[in-house]
Amino acid sequence: MSKIIGITGGIASGKSTVAEQIRQAGYQVIDADQVVHELQKKGGSLYQALILAFGTEILAADGELDRPKLAQLIFSSKENQEKSAKLQDRIIREELAGRRDALAAKEPIFFMDIPLLLELDYQDWFDEIWLVYVDEDKQLERLMKRNHYSLDEAAKRLAAQMPLQNKKKFAQVIIDNNGSPKETLQQLGLQLKHLADG
């Protein structure tokens, strides 16, 4: 039996950095965002489904999805958020399940990096959940800096996700990313050592 670990966090919590370090330590990591990008590419199953749902105005001049435009449309109303979530969730879940099963056949331990792991109810897929945690004010600050958002835009994005504080109770391992990158790496190193020692 494979041990499958879910990594989650929130927008601008540093989860991608942690996932990258886990990869460098030699583990396989299925990146849900990467999978979504592949499915949203021209001709992909999500690409087709999104055009059917929202029309061709979500396309850029080259025929690819215009991500900022799509995001704006989705975030513009509760109805659009629900429509998009339902549609994307089904297609993404099927794809992720296929990749999970393929890795489970050959890897003793692997990770899946799923930003909305708890919101979309993936908990029962995992033996353990690792949360990359950061305080909300720090999360806002990093998000504004990274995406050049106004405070209002950043707060809106955060409000669309479950607060990290609420995610703590679901996690078996919490990587605190409030400090320096070095401190985060030290914590991660310890957890990976525990994992290897089994």
- Alpha carbons 27 and 70: distance in angstroms, whole number: 33
> 13 labelled as ligand-binding?
yes
> 76 labelled as ligand-binding?
no
Helix (H) or strand (E) holding 125: none
> 45 labelled as ligand-binding?
no
> 63 labelled as ligand-binding?
no
Strands of the sheet containing 29-31, edge to edge, are 29-31, 109-113, 3-8, 128-133, 173-176
- Alpha carbons 125 and 117: distance in angstroms, whole number: 10
Amino acid at 98: G
Helix (H) or strand (E) holding 112: strand 109-113
> 84 labelled as ligand-binding?
no
> 155 labelled as ligand-binding?
no
Positions at the binding site: 12-17
Positions at the binding site for ATP: 12-17
